[in-house]
Amino acid sequence: EETATLAHWASDDFASSSDKSSELRKGSSLPNIPIELSTSPSRSDEAEITREDKSNAAPSFVNRLHQIFSVKPKDTEASVPPLFKHDRGLDTLEETPLTSSQHSNEQDLETSANMSFDELLKSFASKHEGNDMPGNLSGGVLIDQVYAVAPSDLNTLLFSPTSDFLQSLAKMQGTTGLDIQQWRLENDGEILKRVVTYTKAATKLVKAVKATEDVAYLKADGDMYAVLADVSTPEVPFGNNFRVEILTCIMPGPELRDDEISSRLVISWRLNFMQSTMMKGMIENGAKQGLKDNFNQFSELLAQNVRPVDAKDTTTNNESLSSVQPETESDWKLAFRIFGNFTVLSSVIAFIYVFAHIILASPSIIQGLEFPGLDLPDSVGEVVVCGVLVLQGQRVLNMIARFVQARRQRGGDHGVKAKGDGWLLTVALIDGTNLSATKSSGYSDPYVVFTCNGQTKTSSIKFHTLEPQWNEIFEFDAMEDPPSVMEINVYDFDGPFDEVASLGHVEVNFLKYSIPELADIWIPLKGKLAQACQSKLHLRIFLNNSRGTEVVKDYLDRMEKEVGRKV
β pairing state of 536-545 and 446-452: unpaired
pLDDT digits (tens, 9 = 90+) for 479-491: 888 888 999 999 9
Q: Is 431 helix (H, G, I), strand (E, B) or coil?
A: strand
Q: Is the pLDDT of residue 186 over 80?
A: yes
Average pLDDT, the chain: 76
Is 87:152 a contact under the CB 8 Å cutoff? no
- Residue 152 is predicted with a pLDDT of 93
Lowest mean pLDDT: which of 151-165, 254-268, 423-437?
254-268
Of 211, 226, 202, 217, the C-alpha closest to 179 is 211
Lowest mean pLDDT: which of 90-104, 138-152, 469-483?
90-104
Is 400:436 a contact under the CB 8 Å cutoff? no
Q: Is 443 helix (H, G, I), strand (E, B) or coil?
A: coil
Angle CA(289)–CA(292)–CA(297) in degrees, nearest 5? Answer: 135
Q: Specify the DSSP class assigned to residue 274.
A: S
Q: Give the pLDDT band (50/70/90) at residue 171.
A: very high
Mean pLDDT of 368-382: 82
Of 172, 211, 209, the C-alpha closest to 300 is 172
Is 268:142 a contact under the CB 8 Å cutoff? yes
Phi/psi of residue 427, nearest 5 degrees: -125, 125
Mean pLDDT of 349-372: 84
* Cα dihedral 283, 289, 295, 300 in deg (nearest 10): -160
pTM of the model: 0.44
Q: Is the pLDDT of residue 143 over 70?
A: yes
Query: Do you know the residue count of the chain?
Result: 567
Residue 255's Cβ-side half-sphere holds a number of Cα atoms within 13 Å equal to: 3
β pairing state of 242-252 and 225-232: antiparallel
Burial of 69 (0-12, 13-18, 19+ CB in 10 A): middle
| Strand order across the beta sheet in which 469-479 lies | 469-479, 423-433, 536-545, 521-524
Q: Is 361 helix (H, G, I), strand (E, B) or coil?
A: coil
Using CA atoms, how far apart are residues 432 and 434, in angstroms rounded to an integer? 7
Report in angstroms the alpha-carbon separations of 104 from 65, 88, 107, 188. 52, 22, 5, 9
Is 324:473 a contact under the CB 8 Å cutoff? yes
Q: Is 277 helix (H, G, I), strand (E, B) or coil?
A: coil
41-44 long-range contacts, Cβ below 8 Å, gap at least 24? 41/17, 41/70
Burial of 461 (0-12, 13-18, 19+ CB in 10 A): buried
Using CA atoms, how far apart are residues 396 and 393, in angstroms rounded to an integer? 5
Using CA atoms, how far apart are residues 224 and 283, in angstroms rounded to an integer? 32
Lowest mean pLDDT: which of 206-220, 243-257, 312-326, 378-392?
312-326
Using CA atoms, how far apart are residues 41 and 337, in angstroms rounded to an integer? 92
- Domain annotation for the chain: domains and CATH numbers: 2-94 (no CATH), 118-309 (3.30.530.20), 332-408 (no CATH), 411-563 (2.60.40.150)
